């Protein structure tokens, strides 16, 4: 059976399936949130209205119209995805004119290091902290410390516990990503195909939720597909390549597709498939940036990449921080006025939804440089 390779683009991280290749326990998404799989025909799955569940800075000063200083502490620095979110933040700050924003963070996706960076900036007394969490629970205490200090706290890309920040800019609904990934793989490998996952860690919040929704949707809409295994590879290119290669060697002809759940794992998996001379035999579906996937799309090993624009994600996070500091984004708000992005919807109580994913293909991938 001929397979194209669709890489559904996206960001970072991991999930824990107790998987052994023939048996695995249900995955609960590393939190207590229920799954909400979309309908197989594309309908349904609307997000229910929910009361505001974020936290609030204690005694925050009135900064309306005044210059504010923000620090961005992503999961890690030095990879294309977060370079793109940083660029979006720079663009928003320049456009607004009264925002200074700096990105600083660990060079590896290490939650302890991320906590240390945030704690240091609390001591320095910034007006706002932007973050993409390596662990939603472990990061919560230091974010709550920031709120107690009167600092505005805005998440993006990977959430914390809701009450540890004011708002979270969500790149896409978890169930929408789960459906898109599974549908893409089903189209590539067929309804009875077998697949595995390479992700970051079992506790990275966004990947955890995506995988939980993938499982729920796959069982509901593609029940004959076989889920072989989920492995973690941190945010490390070499480890991701090695994990994908191990899966290829371990399962042989029984492996029809690989999901990459991070912007590192997807191109590494595509490279592993390329080096194994398995393009057209093993589909690669996942999340990554255009620059990382361009060689595989242009070679035909990967047909297309689906992702939101991380530049827009960083841009929206700065607009959210500015609006919160101005007192314009408060509990109960239903939308955010986000500059060139227009009005973004508030969902799930305290999440700001960026919008629909974007598809990068041979026809347009050369138009993007991140």
Of 250, 285, 307, the residue that ends a domain is: 307
Phi-psi category of 339—alpha, beta or left, where left has phi over 0 and alpha has psi -120 to 50?
Answer: left
Question: What is the pLDDT confidence band of residue 135, given thresholds at 50, 70 and 90?
Answer: very high
Burial group, residue 96, by CB count within 10 angstroms (0-12, 13-18, 19+): middle
Query: Does residue 84 lie in a domain region?
Result: yes
Strands of 239-361, DSSP E:
257-260, 283-286, 304-307, 335-337, 343-347, 351-353, 358-361
Question: What is the pLDDT confidence band of residue 43, given thresholds at 50, 70 and 90?
Answer: low
Report which of 272, 195, 190 is spatially closest to residue 230, judged by C-alpha positions.
195
- 303 shares its domain with 315: no
What distance lies between CA 336 and its chain's CA centroid? Answer: 20
pLDDT at 3: 37
pLDDT at 31: 58
For residue 225, what is the domain's CATH number? 3.40.50.2300
187-208 average pLDDT score: 90
How far apart CA 66 and CA 186 sit, in angstroms, is 52
Question: What is the pLDDT confidence band of residue 29, given thresholds at 50, 70 and 90?
Answer: low
How far apart CA 43 and CA 24 sit, in angstroms, is 29
pLDDT at 16 over 70: no
Report which of 310, 293, 264, 326 is spatially closest to residue 103, judged by C-alpha positions.
310
pLDDT at 26 over 50: no
Query: Does residue 21 lie in a domain region?
Result: yes
- 177 shares its domain with 101: no
- Structural domains in the chain (count): 2
- 134 shares its domain with 205: no
Query: Does residue 51 lie in a domain region?
Result: no
Query: Does residue 281 lie in a domain region?
Result: yes
- 215 shares its domain with 183: yes
Tens of pLDDT, residues 273-293: 999 999 999 999 998 888 999
How far apart CA 7 and CA 267 sit, in angstroms, is 9
pLDDT at 235: 87
Lowest mean pLDDT among 123-127, 174-178, 247-251: 174-178
Query: Does residue 365 lie in a domain region?
Result: no
- 208 shares its domain with 235: yes
Query: Does residue 360 lie in a domain region?
Result: no
Query: Does residue 200 lie in a domain region?
Result: yes
328-348 average pLDDT score: 95
Domain extent for 334: 68-166+310-349
Reduced 3-state DSSP string for 129-179: EEECCCCCCCCHHHHHHHHHCCCEEEEECCCCCHHHCCEEEECCCHHHHHH
Query: Does residue 36 lie in a domain region?
Result: no
66-77 average pLDDT score: 98
- 217 shares its domain with 265: yes
pTM above 0.95, yes or no: no
- 258 shares its domain with 191: yes
How many C-beta atoms surround the C-beta of residue 284 within 10 A?
A: 37
**Which pair of tokens denotes residue 259?**
């999901």
pLDDT at 42: 67
Distances in Å between the Cα of 319 and the Cα atoms of 57, 74, 75, 159, 162 are 17, 17, 20, 17, 19
């Amino acid at each position: 059976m001929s397979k194209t390779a669709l890489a559904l683009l996206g960001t970072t991280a991991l999930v824990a399936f107790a998987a052994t290749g023939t048996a695995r326990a249900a995955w609960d998404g590393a939190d207590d949130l229920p799954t909400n799989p979309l309908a197989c025909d594309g309908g349904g799955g609307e997000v229910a209205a929910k009361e505001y569940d974020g936290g609030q800075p204690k005694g925050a000063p009135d900064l309306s119209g005044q210059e504010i200083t923000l620090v961005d502490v992503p999961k890690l620095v030095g990879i294309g995805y977060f370079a793109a979110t940083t660029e979006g933040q720079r663009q928003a700050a320049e456009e607004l004119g009264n925002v200074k924003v700096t990105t600083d963070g660990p060079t590896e996706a290490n939650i302890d290091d991320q906590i240390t960076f945030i704690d240091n900036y609390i001591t320095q007394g910034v007006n706002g902290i932007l973050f993409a969490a390596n662990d939603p629970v472990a990061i919560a205490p230091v974010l709550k410390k920031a709120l107690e200090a009167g600092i505005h706290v805005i998440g993006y890309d990977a959430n914390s516990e809701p009450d540890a920040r004011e708002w979270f800019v969500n790149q896409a609904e978890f169930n929408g990503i789960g459906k898109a990934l599974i549908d893409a793989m089903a189209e590539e490998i067929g309804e009875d195909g077998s697949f595995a996952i390479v992700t970051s860690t079992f506790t990275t919040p966004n990947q955890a939720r995506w995988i939980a929704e993938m499982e729920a949707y796959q069982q509901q809409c593609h029940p004959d597909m076989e889920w072989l295994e989920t492995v973690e590879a941190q945010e490390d290119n070499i480890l991701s390549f090695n994990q994908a290669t191990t899966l290829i060697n371990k399962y042989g002809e029984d492996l029809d597709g690989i999901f990459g759940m991070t912007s590192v794992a997807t191109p590494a998996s595509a490279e592993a498939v390329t080096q194994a001379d398995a393009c057209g035999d093993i589909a690669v579906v996942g999340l990554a940036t255009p620059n990382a996937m361009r060689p595989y799309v242009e070679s035909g090993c990967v047909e297309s990449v689906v992702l939101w624009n991380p530049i827009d994600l960083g841009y929206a996070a700065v607009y959210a921080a500015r609006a919160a500091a101005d007192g314009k984004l408060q509990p109960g708000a239903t939308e955010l006025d986000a500059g060139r992005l227009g009005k973004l919807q508030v969902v799930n109580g305290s999440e700001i939804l960026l919008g629909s994913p974007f598809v990068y293909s041979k026809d347009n991938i050369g138009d993007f440089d991140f």
